[in-house]
Structure 1
Amino acid sequence: MPNYRRAWVQGGTYFFTVTLRDRRSNLLVREIDRLRRVIAQTKLNHPFHIDAWVVLPEHMHCLWTLPPGDADFATRWKVIKSGFARRIPQGESRSIEQQIRGQRGIWQARYWEHLIRDKTDYQRHFDYIHINPVKHGWVTAVKDWPYSTFHRAVAKGIYTNDWAGDLLLNVRAAERR
Structure 2
Amino acid sequence: MPNYRRAFVAGGTWFFTVNLLQRRGNDLLVREIETLRHVVWQVRKRHPFTIDAWVVLPEHLHAVLTLPPDDADFSLRWRLIKSGFSRALPKTEHLSVVRQKTGERGIWQRHYWEHLIRDELDYQRHVDYVHVNPFKHGLVKRVSDWPYSTFHRAVAAGIYPADWCGDMTADAADD
- Do they fold alike, i.e. is TM over 0.5? yes
Secondary structure of the corresponding residue to residue 159 of structure 1: coil
Q: How many residues align?
A: 167
TM-score by length of 1: 0.92
**Structure 1 stretches of 5 or more lacking a match?**
168-177
Superposed displacement of residue 71, structure 1 = 0.3
Superposed displacement of residue 165, structure 1 = 2.0
Superposed displacement of residue 93, structure 1 = 1.0
Superposed displacement of residue 166, structure 1 = 8.1
Aligned to 2:152: 151
8 Å Cα contact 2:142-2:167 kept in structure 1 = no
Secondary structure of the corresponding residue to residue 40 of structure 1: helix
Aligned to 1:107: 108
The letter of the residue matching 2:133 is N
Q: CA RMSD in A?
A: 1.1
Of stretches 94-103 and 14-23 in structure 1, the one that deviates more from structure 2 is 94-103
Following the alignment from structure 2 to structure 1, what is the Cα–Cα distance between the partners of residues 6 and 101? 28
Secondary structure of the corresponding residue to residue 16 of structure 1: strand
The letter of the residue matching 1:114 is H
Aligned to 2:23: 23
The letter of the residue matching 1:58 is E
Spell out the pairing of 1:58-69 with structure 2 (5 A cutoff). 58-69=59-70
Identity of aligned residues (%): 66
Instruction: Render the CA deviation track for 1:96-139: whole Å, top value 9, x for unaligned.
Output: 01101111000001000000000000000000000000000100
Secondary structure of the corresponding residue to residue 129 of structure 1: helix
Superposed displacement of residue 69, structure 1 = 1.1
Superposed displacement of residue 142, structure 1 = 0.3
Instruction: Render the CA deviation track for 1:40-91: whole Å, top value 9, x for unaligned.
Output: 0000010000000000000000000000010000000000000000001111
Following the alignment from structure 1 to structure 2, what is the Cα–Cα distance between the partners of residues 37 and 102? 24
The answer as to 2:101 corresponding to 1:72 is no
The letter of the residue matching 2:165 is A
Aligned to 1:93: 94
**Structure 2 stretches of 5 or more lacking a match?**
169-175
Superposed displacement of residue 3, structure 1 = 1.9
Following the alignment from structure 2 to structure 1, what is the Cα–Cα distance between the partners of residues 31 and 166? 29
TM-score by length of 2: 0.93
